[in-house]
Amino acid sequence: MTPASTPPPFGPQTLVEAMRSRGGALDPHVLDAFLAIPRAAFLPGVPLERVYQDEAIVIRRETSGSVVSTSSQPGMMALMIDQLRLHKGHNVLEIGAGSGYNAAIMQWLVEPGGRVTTIEYDSQLAEQARDALQRIQMNRVTVVEGDGAAGYAPRATYDRILATAGIWDVPRIWVKQLRPRGLIVAPIWFAGGQYSAAFQLQPDGTLYSERNLPCGFVHLRGVAAGPEVDVQVGGGSLMISSGHLDRVDSVALHMLLDADAQDGRLGLTLKRGDVTFSLAPFLAMNLPDDNVFALYSVLTDQQPFGLDGPGFAVIGKGSACFVPAEGQGRATVFGGADALLTAQDAVSAWDAAGRPPVERLRLRLSPINGAPPAPGKHGRVFKRTEHYLEAWYG
């Protein structure tokens, strides 16, 4: 009798189990696609133990060491694909091919009759993705080398468009290449970070998203990259991220942080996850205009300027307040107390509003050729390249 073969210790089943262990409602049909498509085919040379973890894997860096592209975290991929609501026969455009793995997952989901086109800015990555897709006989996926900001007119119109890079705005040309009532899922910059928004095209030409998930992706490259949203301070040991860095003088901030710091308190306790899943959007929408909301992280084992993190910051003129996300409401204050007082007021308003969760966050993009929308209570309107971004709680 031939002994039963031993299953490999790491494979698609390992990955799906890891994704399930993180919790969250993942579509069983989407998980079937992750079982069917071997991630290892898109990450040659990477140990299987790493390949089949629910983690992002860097696949290309610049000579400076900065990350150009990753194979996204499969669990986040699954959530975004769930936002897309793919059906058999759908015509899909992906912005950012990366390894090609995500395109293969989507192609499996839209068959029979559907097709996926994926655009990659980096020519070497495009060729590698093309080769990997051919190896697993995903020949209906078309890999296009180019700038995703232009979409891909030859295969329009699309039922769904997915961006796997952090965007500042949705290019209007994507909207023109989308079917009526189609969906654009993209990680859009907001509140110092990114939120995977599921924008549905409305009859009036606006894009509305009711489900917005915190996430983190490499920035979109090319003509639609948008402004810088990250700045390193203190010899690169402190990273500050904000959609309003144009209002932050990094030299003046560095000088401010070099001064003596004082300890402060917010006046209430923050729990794990409060900043990411509730507080950050609220502060971004409710801080006074003369203050900047930012997220920060410490990039070394040291504590630059006495800070630990990650956390959030309120930066004003001549004053800054840094609050670690898991510091139980502790704050580090630089300059005067103005930034701390502003942070205390805003956090108290957040608490009084019932600490609204990210599930209540709503986003709408309106073409910039019209009048800006009027923000409602606890809402705000931000001007982007081609749209006004309106954020509020539903």
Tokens matching residue 270:
């923050």
Dist CA 144 CA 34 (whole Å)? 23
As a three-state string, the secondary structure of 154-222 is: HHCCEEEEEECCEECCCCHHHHHCEEEEEEEEEEEEECCEEEEEEEEECCCCCEEECCEEEECCCECCC
Cis peptide before 112 (omega within 30 of 0): yes
At residue 54's C-alpha, the angle toward residues 300 and 113, to 5°, is 135
- Name every residue whose Cβ is closer than 8 Å to that of residue 302 and which is 6 or more positions away in sequence: 237
Dist CA 343 CA 376 (whole Å): 21
Identify the H or E element spanning 1: none
Residues 38 and 4 sit within 8 Å (Cβ to Cβ): no
From the candidates 72, 99, 196, 242, give the one annotated as an active-site residue: 72
DSSP single-letter state for residue 12 = H
Q: Which helix (H) or strand (E) holds 280?
A: helix 280-286
Residue 72 among the catalytic residues: yes
Backbone angles phi, psi at 311, to 5 degrees: -175, -160
Q: Are 248 and 255 in contact (CB under 8 A)?
A: no
Please answer whether residues 324 and 310 qualify as being in contact, where contact means their C-beta atoms are separated by less than 8 angstroms.
Answer: yes
**CA–CA gap between residue 180 and residue 203 (Å, rounded):** 7
What gap in Å lies between CA 141 and CA 102, rounded to an integer?
Answer: 11
Instruction: For residue 166, give every residue at least 6 positions away whose Cβ sits within 8 Å of its Cβ, in sequence order, or none.
Output: 187, 188, 189, 194, 216, 217, 218, 219, 220
CA distance linking residue 233 with residue 307, whole number of Å: 12
Residue numbers annotated as active site: 72
